[in-house]
Structure 1
Amino acid sequence: MGSIPLSSDGLTMVCAPIMGESVDQAIDQMHKAKTQGADVVEVRLDCIKHFQAHQDLEIILKNKPLPVIIVYRPKCEGGLYEGDEMARLEALRSALKLGADYVDFELKVASDVISKQNRLQCGGTKVIVSCFLDGATPSEEELSNLAARMQATGADIVKVVTSASNITELARLFHLLSYSQMPVVAYSVGERGLISQLLSPKFGGTLVYGSIEGKAIPGLPTLESLRKAYKVEYIDSGTKIFGLISKPVGHSKGPILHNPTFRHMNFNGLYVPMFVDDLKEFFQVYSTSDFAGFSVGFPYKEAVVQFCDEVHPLAQSIGAVNTIVRRPSDGKLIGYNTDCEASVTAIEDALQECRCINGKQSLVSPLAGREFVLVGAGGAGRALAFGAKIRGARIIIFDIDFERAKILANAVSGEARPLGDLPYFQPEKGSVLANATPIGMHPNKDRVPVSEASLGVFQLVFDAVYTPRKTTLLKGAEAAGAIIVSGVEMFLRQAIGQFNLFTGGEAPKEFMREIVLAKF
C-alpha cells in the first residue's frame, strides 16, 4: 500500500497508536485498528521487545493493512527506548529505505538525518518531525517559532506533543493548528489533554489519535467513540463546541447523548468532556463564539454562578447553574438550571404513576405535604430542594458541611441535620429520600448514604448518581419495596432542557430517550 498524504482531502485522519510488545501483537493490533475505524496506524518500535530492526520492519510493512507511521521513541522524548542512539537512527533509516508510509524523527536529530541525499532515497515516504515538550506548554509565539524550526529541517509534517497540567494550555495548541501553513499534529497527553484530540479536526489538525478497544490510553478517546459518538469526519471549522465542565469528567455520558442528537437535528455542534481546574482562567481563555455553551457538573454548579453575565431567575434563586449558553448577539454567558424541573418531575411522575395504579388521581403534586429527605446540599441538592419546596414538600437536609445544610434549609424553609445523624434518622412512613452526593458513583459503587434498615420506610428513593444506572442505594431500596428513580431519568430530562437552550430549537425527546435506554 503506497503512501497517501495525511489530510489530502482536508479531513483530519484518525490514527491508532500500535504498542504491541511483539511483531505479531503489533500486526494483530493494526488489523483491529482498521476494523475499528482507523485511517492510519502509528507503530511504536520502542514497545517491541527484542526488536530486530531490518527483519521486523520488513514483516510489519509487508503485513500492514493501513498506511503506517514508524516511530522509535527514546525515553527522553516520552518513549521507552534506552539503547544505543546510532542503532535507533539506523532502524529509522531502514524504515525510509523499506518504504514506510511515514517515518517520525525527533527535532534534535532531524536536521542531520533529513539531508537532501536521504530525501532522494525516501521515495514516497513522508517525514514527520516531532518534539515532545515536558512541563508547561509554551506561549503561542514560542510554539509558532518551534514549528518554523521543525519545518526548516525539511519535514513534510510537524508534530508537537505537550503534557499540559491545565486545560487552558490547550488553547495554544489550537492556535498553532489554526494558523500553521503546513500539516501539523499537536496535542497534549493525559486526562486534561482529551479535548486536544477531540477538537483537532475543528482547528485543522492533521491527525486525531484514538485507542484500540481494550488498550485504553489516558487522554485518548477510543477509536469507536471517535467514529460513533463524536463522528470526527463531520467536524469542521464551523462546528460549535459544547461541553461538560467538571472535575473529574471521565464519568460523563453527555457525549453519547448530545452528539447523536445534534446530528439527528442537523445541528453542527460537538459536545466534549472538559476537565477544568480553574473556572476563572477557563472562561477567560475559552471566550470566543466557538465555545457556545456548557453543562456544569460536580463540583462547580454553585461556584460557576459568579462567572455568568446573567442568571435566569430560577437558577438565581437556587444559587446553582448547570447550563450556560453564550448569547450570539453579544457573547455574554447566560446561566440556567435545568436540574430542578428534571429531578422533581422525575420523582413526581413516579409517584403519580403509583397513584394511578392505586386508582387515585390528583392535580396536586404528590410531593405536597410529604417529608422529603435530602442528602447533599451542593448544586444538585439545591436544585432538588427548591423543586421540592415549590411542590410543597417538608424538607430535611443532611450534608457533610452542616453550615451549608443550614443555609439551604433556611432558603427552603426546611430543617438541617448533621450528616452524622443520618444513620440513626427515623423517617416518616411514605417519605421520599433523594441522594444528591457523589456517594455510590463509579468507582466507589458499593457505598450508600443511609442505613439499609431505613430504606423500607421510604416510599420512593431517588439517586442523582447515574453511573451506574442502578446504584447500590437503588438496589437496596428496590429490595426493600420502595419505588426507585434513577439519576439516568434526571440526566435525560435535564439534557433535553439543555439541548433546547444550546440549539434554540425543540429537542427530539423520544430519540434522546431511546439513546439513553440503549446506551446507559
Structure 2
Amino acid sequence: MGRAGILANSTMVCAPLMARSVEQMVIDMQSAEAQGADAVEVRLDYINSFQPSQDLETIIRNKPLPVIIVYRPRWEGGQYEGDEHTRLEALRLAHELGADYIDVELKVASDLVREVKNKHQTGGKVIVSSYLSGATPSKEDLSHLVASMQATKADIIKVVSNANDITELDWIFHLLSHSEVPAVAYSLGERGLISQLLCPKFGGALVYGAMEGNSIPGLPTLDSLREAYKVENINSDTKVFGLVSKPVSHSKGPILHNPAFRHANFNGIYVPMFVDDLKEFFEVYTSPDFAGYSVGFPYKEAVVQFCDEVHPLAKSIGAVNTIIRKPSDGKLIGYNTDCEGSIASIEDALEDQRYMNGASLNSPLAGKQFVVVGAGGAGRAIAVGAKSRGARVIIFDIDLERAKSLAQVVSGEAQHFDSLAHFQPEKGAILANATPIGMHPSTDRIPVAEATLGNYQLVFDAVYTPRKTRLLEDADAAGAITVSGVEMFLKQAIGQFSLFTGTEGCSYIPVRQVLIMILDF
C-alpha cells in the first residue's frame, strides 16, 4: 500500500516494533513485511542511545513498507524520559525525512500539526493520539475528546484505553463508525482483543498484529490476522459470532469456525470474548451485528436465564452452549450441541465392538455404568445424553447438591467428588471427565485414582487443550479406549456451524471434512 493507505477507506494491518537497536529495527521491518504487515509502527523510545539524525535516516531509507514513527513519552505510557524539545524535534525530523506517518500526543498536537504541514510538504501524515488511563470516560467526555482531536486538523486520530470489561469496547466501535476523520481505536489486554479483531468491520484505519515470537497481551498475531481471521475480507456486513467464556485464550474456535465460514461463502467472523458479567454483556451487545455465540466455561448453565427462548433439549439439560440472535426480532435462542457431540464421540469409539457383537439398534452405552465427573454445563449435557442411550449414570461433583440435582434429572446416582479417589467402577464402565482438571496450564492432574483406570472400557475427556491430556495418557496405558475432547469439540462445532449459518438440515459431511482438515493442532 502507498502512503495514502490509512486514508483510503481500507484497514491496514500494522506491526508494532520495539527493538532496542536501529539495526534490529530494520531487520524487524523486513520480517513484518514477510509476515503480512501493511505498515509498521516504529517505537523510537525503545531504541537505546537513539541518535535522531543518523538513526531516523537509516530507518526511513530502509523501510520496506509504510512506517509510523512514534516517540512516546513516559507521561503518555511510553519509555522516553528526556527533554521534551528534543523529542518533538525528532518527530519534526522524521516528517521532514519522509516518514509516512508521525504519531503526536494530543497534549502537544495543535502547534506541531500546523507547523509540519506548513513547513514540510513531504506527503507524510500526522496521527494525533490519546491514551486513556483509569476508568473509561463517559460517552459525553469521549465525544469532547474526539472533537478536540479532530480540531487539531489531524489526518488520523488514535485513542487507546485499558478495558476492565468487554462491555467498555462498545464506545470504540461507536467511535470508529462515526468519526469524521480516519480513526484508530482499541483497548489493551485480553478483554480488549475484539477491539482489534472487529476493527475492520467498524471502519477502523489500523488493526495491530504482533510479529511471530513477540507475544503482546491482547494483541493478535500477524499470522492469525491473515490466516485465521482474514481481516482483509471483513466489512460492515460481516456478522459477528464469538465464544463467551472466562478465560478464552485456550479456545480453538477461531481457527475452526472462521475457515469454515469462508468455505461456505458465509460473511461471518468468530472471535474470543472474555466476559466477566453475562448480564452487562447481553445488555450492551444488542446489535444484530452480534449474531450468535458459543458459550464456554463457566457460563453454560447461567446463560440460560438470558435467553428469550430455549430449545427443548437444552431446557432438559439445563445448559446452553450455543445462542442465536433471531434476525427478525433480535431474540436470543439457546441450544445445546454438546450433548450429541459428546455421546456421538463416545459411541463412535465403541462402534467396532458393536459390530463385532452383531448389528444392533441399541446404543453400545445401553446398560453400562457411566461415570460423569463434573455436574456443570458440559457434565449435564453428557449425563443427559448417556441417559438417553440407556446408560446407568453416576455423577461426581465438588458440589454435592448440584450433583444430586443432575442425578434426579437422569435417574442416576450422585456422590461427592472427594469419594471418587476410592470409587471402584464396574468392569467395562465408561468414564467422562467434564471438569477443567488437566486443562492447560495445569496439565499434570487427573480426576480419578490412576489404579482404577484399568476397569474402564472407555475414558473420555472433555478437555481438549492439550489434545492428549494426562488422563487420556494414563487411561491408554491402562488399556482403555480413549476419546479426546477434540472429537466432542468437532462434533458440537458442526452443530453450531449449522445454527450460525442457518443451514440446519443440510448434509454436514462436507462441513465435517473441512473442519477435520482445519483442526490440526
Structure 1 length normalisation: TM-score? 0.97
Question: SS at the partner of 2:353?
Answer: helix
Q: Which residue of 2 aligns with 1:72?
A: 71
Check whether the contact 2:94–2:102 (CA below 8 A) recurs between aligned residues: yes
Q: CA–CA distance in 2 between the matches of 1:219 and 1:445?
A: 24
Check whether the contact 1:54–1:94 (CA below 8 A) recurs between aligned residues: yes
Are 2:212 and 1:210 aligned? no
Q: Which residue of 2 aligns with 1:437?
A: 435
Correspondence list, 1:115-134, <5 A: 115-116=114-115, 119-134=118-133
CA positional deviation for 1:181: 1.5
Q: Which residue of 2 aligns with 1:387?
A: 385
Change (3 A) 1:117 1:496: closer
Q: Which residue of 1 aligns with 2:97?
A: 98
Correspondence list, 1:67-466, <5 A: 67-116=66-115, 119-356=118-355, 358-466=356-464
Change (3 A) 1:255 1:394: same
Which deviates more from structure 2 when the two are superposed, residues 166-175 or residues 395-404?
Answer: 395-404
Change (3 A) 1:296 1:200: same
- Give the counterpart letter for 1:298 in structure 2: F
C-alpha offsets along residues 49-106 of structure 1, whole Å, 9 cap, x if unaligned?
Answer: 1211211111111111110000011122121222222221121111111111100000
Q: CA–CA distance in 1 between the matches of 2:7 and 2:412?
A: 60
Q: Which residue of 2 aligns with 1:515?
A: 517
Question: SS at the partner of 2:350?
Answer: helix
Question: SS at the partner of 1:329?
Answer: coil
Check whether the contact 2:293–2:323 (CA below 8 A) recurs between aligned residues: yes
Q: CA–CA distance in 2 between the matches of 1:312 and 1:458?
A: 33
Change (3 A) 1:192 1:79: same
Which deviates more from structure 2 when the two are superposed, residues 410-419 or residues 242-251?
Answer: 410-419
CA positional deviation for 1:118: 5.0
Check whether the contact 1:352–1:361 (CA below 8 A) recurs between aligned residues: no
Change (3 A) 1:488 1:319: same
Q: CA–CA distance in 2 between the matches of 1:360 and 1:85?
A: 83
Check whether the contact 2:259–2:518 (CA below 8 A) recurs between aligned residues: no
- Give the counterpart letter for 2:433 in structure 1: N
Which deviates more from structure 2 when the two are superposed, residues 488-497 or residues 439-448?
Answer: 439-448
Question: SS at the partner of 2:375?
Answer: coil
Unmatched 5+ stretches in structure 1: none
Check whether the contact 1:261–1:511 (CA below 8 A) recurs between aligned residues: no
Q: CA–CA distance in 1 between the matches of 2:281 and 2:517?
A: 31
Question: SS at the partner of 2:203?
Answer: coil
CA positional deviation for 1:112: 2.6
- Give the counterpart letter for 1:421 in structure 2: S
- Give the counterpart letter for 1:94 in structure 2: L
Unmatched 5+ stretches in structure 2: none
Check whether the contact 2:16–2:40 (CA below 8 A) recurs between aligned residues: yes
C-alpha offsets along residues 282-333 of structure 1, whole Å, 9 cap, x if unaligned?
Answer: 0010001000000000000000000000000110111000000001111100
Question: SS at the partner of 2:126?
Answer: strand
Q: Which residue of 2 aligns with 1:475?
A: 473
Question: SS at the partner of 1:168?
Answer: helix
Q: CA–CA distance in 2 between the matches of 1:5 and 1:497?
A: 40
Q: CA–CA distance in 2 between the matches of 1:435 and 1:305?
A: 23
CA positional deviation for 1:31: 1.0
Check whether the contact 2:172–2:195 (CA below 8 A) recurs between aligned residues: yes
Check whether the contact 2:11–2:204 (CA below 8 A) recurs between aligned residues: yes
Q: CA–CA distance in 1 between the matches of 2:440 and 2:172?
A: 32
Q: CA–CA distance in 2 between the matches of 1:497 and 1:417?
A: 32
Q: Which residue of 1 aligns with 2:53?
A: 54
CA positional deviation for 1:139: 2.9
C-alpha offsets along residues 400-456 of structure 1, whole Å, 9 cap, x if unaligned?
Answer: 111111111121111111111111111111000000001111111111111111111
CA positional deviation for 1:516: 4.4
CA positional deviation for 1:2: 6.5
Check whether the contact 1:294–1:323 (CA below 8 A) recurs between aligned residues: yes
CA positional deviation for 1:143: 2.1
- Give the counterpart letter for 2:517 in structure 1: I
Q: CA–CA distance in 1 between the matches of 2:10 and 2:153?
A: 23
Identity within the alignment, %? 70
Change (3 A) 1:403 1:516: farther
Question: SS at the partner of 1:437?
Answer: coil
In the alignment of these two chains, the number of paired residues is 517
